[in-house]
C-alpha cells in the first residue's frame, strides 16, 4: 500500500508507521538462503494431481502473506461448472420483500469491499501435507448489502446458498435410500449473514475468480472452514426453518465422545455431533531454510479471528520457544510466523509448532483429539521432519 504525504497528515504518524511496513516481513528467500529439505513428504505428493480436479498448496513454496492465484488450492464435490458471466444470474429468493436476480455487473456496481482472508478445507490434515489451505485478497460486496437491497422478510431466520454445481446423493430415510440429484448448498443463520464480514466475492488478488475458485461469484465467510465458501453461487434463499441439505446437516459434521471414559459401554460417555463452522486454532510449519549457519523456521496459523497470544516451536526434545508473528498479518488472514532456530546441527530433526490464543485455547496434540472419531476439523499439532546436511 502506498501512503502519500497527504495520507500521512490525515491519518497521523502512527498510521504512517503501520502502512510503511513491508507488504510482508516473511520475504522471498534472501541471497544465499536455501531450503532445508523435509523428509516427511510422501513420494506421491503432487500439488496438481493428474486428473486436474483439485490443487494442493505446496507449503514449501509459501514466501509471503498472499498465495498466488496459480497456487491457490481448490477442491469441490461435483463438477466445476463453466458459467457465462454475461448471462449468469444470482437469484435472491424466499422470504424477501423484493426477489432479485443479480448479474456480475450488478454486483460490481455496488459498493466494493476487500478482505485478506485465509482458510482451509475442514478435511485438511497431515495426509494432505496441509495443502488444502491458502490466503488471498478477496474483492466483492458485503452480503448484508445484498440482503438489504432485497429486504429481509420478518419470518426469515436462515440463509441458504446454492452453487450451480450438482450431483447425486444418497438421502437416507429409515430403511429407504433415495438417490437424489441436488445442487451443492450450505446455509448460515440470518444473524451470521448480517455480520459485516460475509462477502459475495468476484475477484481474488485483483483477478476475476478462476473457474476453479467459483467464477463468477462465490460466498466468502471469513473465519470459517472452506466448505462455507460456496462457489459458482446461483441462489441465495431466505427461509424460516433450518436447512437440512447433505453438505450442511450430514456430510460436514464432527462426531466425538465427551464425558465418562469414552468407552462405548460407559453410560457416562456421550456421543456429540456438531456442524463444521468456524476454523479451529491451528499452526503448521511450512518451510525451513538455511543461510550459512543460520536456520529459519516459517509457518502459518489459521483460526476464527480471535487474537493470538503466542506461537511456539519445539525442536526435537527441546523446550517450547517463542516464534515471532508477522506484522503484515490481519484479523482474518492466515498468520505467518518465523522462528530463528539457533544451534541447528547436521542430521535428522523433528520440529513442531503450537499456537495459543488470548482466550487461553491451545492447539491440541493428535493425542488430545483421540475422542474426535471423524477426520474433519483435524487441527492437531503436526510434527515435521527435516534433514540438515
Ligand atoms: N459450489 C460449491 N462450492 C464449494 C464446494 C463445492 O463442492 N461446491 N466445496 C467447498 C469446500 S468443501 C471447500 S474446502 C472450498 C474450497 O474452496 P477453494 O476451492 O476455492 O479453495 O469450497 C467450498 N465451496
Ligand atoms: Mo472442504
Q: Which ligand is nearest to the CA of 235?
A: 1
Query: Number of structural domains, the chain?
Result: 1
As to burial, measured by CB atoms within 10 angstroms (0-12 exposed, 13-18 middle, 19+ buried), residue 378 is buried
- Rounded to the nearest angstrom, the distance between the alpha carbon of 228 and the centre of ligand 2 is 8
Determine the atom of ligand 1 nearest the C-alpha atom of 54: 19
One DSSP character per residue, 115-140 reads EEEEEE-TT-SGGGTT-SEEEEEEEE
| Tens of pLDDT, residues 218-261 | 999 999 999 999 999 999 999 999 999 999 999 999 999 999 98
**Phi, psi (rounded to 5 degrees) for 184:** -65, 135
Q: Is the pLDDT of residue 10 over 50?
A: no
CA distance 32 to 48: 29
Mean model confidence pLDDT for the chain: 93
User: How many angstroms is it from 356 CA to the middle of ligand 2?
Assistant: 24
CA distances from 295 to 30, 184, 319 (A): 12, 45, 17
The rounded Å distance from CA 84 to ligand 2 centre is 25
Q: Do residues 136 and 67 make contact, with C-beta atoms less than 8 angstroms apart?
A: yes
Q: Could you tell me the distance, in angstroms and rounded to a whole number, from the CA of residue 1 to the centre of ligand 1?
A: 30
Q: Whose CA is nearest to atom 24 of ligand 1?
A: 230
Does residue 215 have its Cβ closer than 6 Å to ligand 1? Answer: no
Residue identifier of the C-alpha nearest atom 4 of ligand 1: 230
Atom index in ligand 1 nearest the CA of residue 225 equals 14
C-alpha cell belonging to residue 35: 531450503
Q: pLDDT at position 265, please?
A: 85
Q: What is the reported pTM? A: 0.92
Q: Is pLDDT above 50 for 191? A: yes
- Return the pLDDT at 25: 55
For residue 77, how far is its CA from the centre of ligand 1 (angstroms)? Answer: 7
Read off the CATH number of the domain in which 155 is found.
Answer: 3.90.420.10
- Whether pLDDT at 26 is above 90: no
Which ligand neighbours the alpha carbon of 133 most closely? 1
Say if ligand 1 is within 6 A of residue 231 CB: yes
228 Cα: distance to centroid of ligand 1 (angstroms)? 8
Per-residue pLDDT of 326-381, as tens digits, reads 999 999 999 999 999 999 999 999 999 999 999 999 999 999 999 999 999 999 99
- Closest by CA to 288, choosing from 277, 297, 279, 300, is 297
The ligand 1 atom at the shortest distance from the C-alpha of residue 74 is 19
Domain span at residue 291 reads 1-389
Statement: residue 17 has pLDDT above 60: no
For ligand 1, atom 20, name the residue with the nearest CA.
213
- As to burial, measured by CB atoms within 10 angstroms (0-12 exposed, 13-18 middle, 19+ buried), residue 221 is buried
Cα of 59 to ligand 1 centre, how many Å? Answer: 20
Tens digits of per-residue pLDDT, 89-136? Answer: 999 999 999 999 999 999 999 999 999 999 999 999 999 999 999 999
Q: Is 89 in the pocket of ligand 1 (CB under 6 A)?
A: no
Which of 134, 231, 245, when mutated, tests ligand 1's pocket best, judged by the most ligand atoms within 8 Å of its CB? 231
Residues 313/297, Cβ–Cβ less than 8 Å: yes
pLDDT band at 29 (very low <50, low <70, confident <90, very high): confident
Nearest CA residue ID for atom 15, ligand 1: 226
Above pLDDT 90, what percent of the chain?
Answer: 90
C-alpha cell at 267: 453410560
> Rounded to the nearest whole angstrom, what is the distance from the C-alpha of residue 230 to the centroid of ligand 1?
6
Judge if the beta carbon of residue 351 lies within 6 A of ligand 1: no
Using a 6 Å cutoff on CB, does residue 118 contact ligand 1? no
pLDDT at 322 over 70: yes
Per-residue pLDDT tens over the stretch 275-320: 999 999 999 999 999 999 999 999 999 999 999 999 999 999 999 9
Reported as type and span, the H/E element at residue 104 is helix 104-108
Q: Whose CA is nearest to atom 9 of ligand 1?
A: 76
Nearest listed ligand to the Cα of residue 131: 1
Distance between Cα 293 and ligand 1 center (Å) = 42
Neighbours of 318 (CB within 10 A): 11
Residue 9 predicted with pLDDT over 60: no
Our CA dihedral for 314, 318, 320, 322, rounded to 10 degrees, sits at -80
Q: Is the CB of 232 within 6 Å of ligand 1?
A: yes
Residue 343 phi, psi (nearest 5):
75, 25
Q: Whose CA is nearest to atom 23 of ligand 1?
A: 227
Amino acid at each position: 500500500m502506498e501512503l502519500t504525504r497527504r495520507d500521512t497528515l490525515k491519518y497521523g504518524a502512527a498510521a504512517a508507521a503501520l502502512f510503511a511496513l513491508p507488504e510482508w516481513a516473511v520475504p522471498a528467500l534472501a541471497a544465499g538462503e536455501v531450503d532445508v529439505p523435509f523428509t516427511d513428504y510422501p513420494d506421491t505428493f503432487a500439488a496438481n494431481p493428474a486428473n486436474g480436479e483439485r490443487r494442493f498448496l505446496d507449503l514449501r513454496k509459501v514466501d509471503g502473506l498472499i498465495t498466488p492465484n496459480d497456487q491457490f488450492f481448490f477442491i469441490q464435490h461435483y463438477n466445476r461448472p463453466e458459467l457465462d458471466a454475461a448471462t449468469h444470474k444470482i437469484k435472491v429468493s424466499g422470504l424477501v420483500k423484493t426477489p432479485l436476480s443479480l448479474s456480475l455487473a450488478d454486483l460490481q456496481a455496488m459498493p466494493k469491499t476487500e478482505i485478506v482472508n485465509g482458510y482451509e478445507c475442514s478435511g485438511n490434515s497431515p495426509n494432505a501435507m496441509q495443502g488444502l489451505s491458502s490466503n488471498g485478497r478477496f474483492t466483492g460486496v458485503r452480503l448484508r448489502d445484498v440482503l438489504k437491497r432485497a429486504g429481509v422478510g420478518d419470518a426469515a431466520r436462515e440463509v441458504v446458498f446454492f452453487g450451480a454445481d450438482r450431483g447425486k446423493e444418497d438421502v437416507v430415510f429409515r430403511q429407504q435410500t433415495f438417490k437424489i440429484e441436488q445442487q451443492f448448498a450450505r446455509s448460515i443463520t440470518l444473524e451470521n449473514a448480517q455480520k459485516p464480514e460475509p462477502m459475495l466475492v468476484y475477484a481474488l488478488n485483483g483477478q476475476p475468480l478462476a473457474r476453479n475458485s467459483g467464477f463468477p461469484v462465490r460466498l466468502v465467510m471469513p473465519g470459517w472452514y472452506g466448505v462455507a465458501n460456496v462457489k459458482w453461487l446461483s441462489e441465495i434463499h431466505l427461509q424460516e426453518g433450518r436447512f437440512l441439505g447433505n453438505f450442511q446437516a450430514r456430510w460436514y459434521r464432527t462426531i466425538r465422545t465427551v464425558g465418562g471414559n469414552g468407552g462405548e459401554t460407559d453410560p457416562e460417555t456421550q456421543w456429540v455431533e456438531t456442524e463444521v463452522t468456524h476454523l479451529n486454532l491451528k499452526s503448521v510449519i511450512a518451510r525451513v531454510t538455511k543461510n550459512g549457519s543460520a536456520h529459519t523456521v516459517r509457518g502459518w496459523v489459521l483460526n476464527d479471528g480471535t487474537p493470538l497470544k503466542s506461537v511456539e516451536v519445539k525442536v526435537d526434545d527441546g523446550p517450547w520457544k517463542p516464534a515471532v508473528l508477522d506484522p503484515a498479518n490481519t484479523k482474518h488472514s492466515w498468520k505467518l510466523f518465523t522462528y530463528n532456530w539457533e544451534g541447528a546441527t547436521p542430521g535428522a530433526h523433528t520440529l513442531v509448532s503450537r499456537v495459543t490464543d488470548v482466550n487461553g485455547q491451545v492447539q491440541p496434540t493428535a493425542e488430545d483429539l483421540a475422542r474426535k472419531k471423524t477426520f474433519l476439523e483435524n487441527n492437531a499439532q503436526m510434527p515435521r521432519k527435516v534433514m540438515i546436511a
